[in-house]
Amino acid sequence: MKIVSIQPVHYPQIAAIYLQGIATGHATFQTSAPTWSDWDSSHLKHSRVAAFIGNDLAGWAALSPVSSRCVYEGVAEVSVYIADNYRGKGIGKALLQQLIADSEANNTWTLQSGIFPENTGSIRLHESCGFRQIGFREKIGKMNGVWRDNIIMERRSKIVGL
């Protein structure tokens, strides 16, 4: 496995993996993959990584800002998506660990994730990388007319913002 910084040329494969996550019904409230331009503008310019197995993009992870307010400049939201045929092989953990290292190198002190309770694999992945559950949002949004809950998980850096 090789982990690299995401480049625009990777986006068709990133979007395809994102659509696989959407299809599970437990990865995101989104119903379609954004254009490259929209994806690029909604994610931080640093801390964008993709895992390759040979020529296959097996998964990706990136950070989004949680707010435009300067007091939250070191707080970011995590996205991690793994291709269907590569799930359960440790790729998510490798990506999340790289994302954590990259985020700390870029002065990010808190990472957070909102995860559907049914996505137990993502919850376990985040826990294995030092995230803890800090909250539960009941009926935070509707998906296909059904209210969905979110577990809020957070990882506070042990080296940034002390």
Average pLDDT per 10 consecutive residues for the chain, totaling 162 residues: 97 96 88 94 96 96 93 94 95 97 96 96 96 96 93 96 79
Predicted model pTM = 0.93
d(CA 11, CA 34): 10
Please give the pLDDT value at position 31.
Answer: 86
- Predicted local confidence at residue 125, as pLDDT: 96
* CATH of range 2-156; options 3.40.50.11740, 3.40.50.2300, 2.40.30.10, 3.40.630.30: 3.40.630.30
CB atoms within 10 A of CB 109: 18
Structure tokens at 4: 């690299």
Domain ranges of the chain: 2-156
At residue 113, the pLDDT reads 97
pLDDT at 112: 97
pLDDT at res. 25: 84
pLDDT number for residue 29: 84
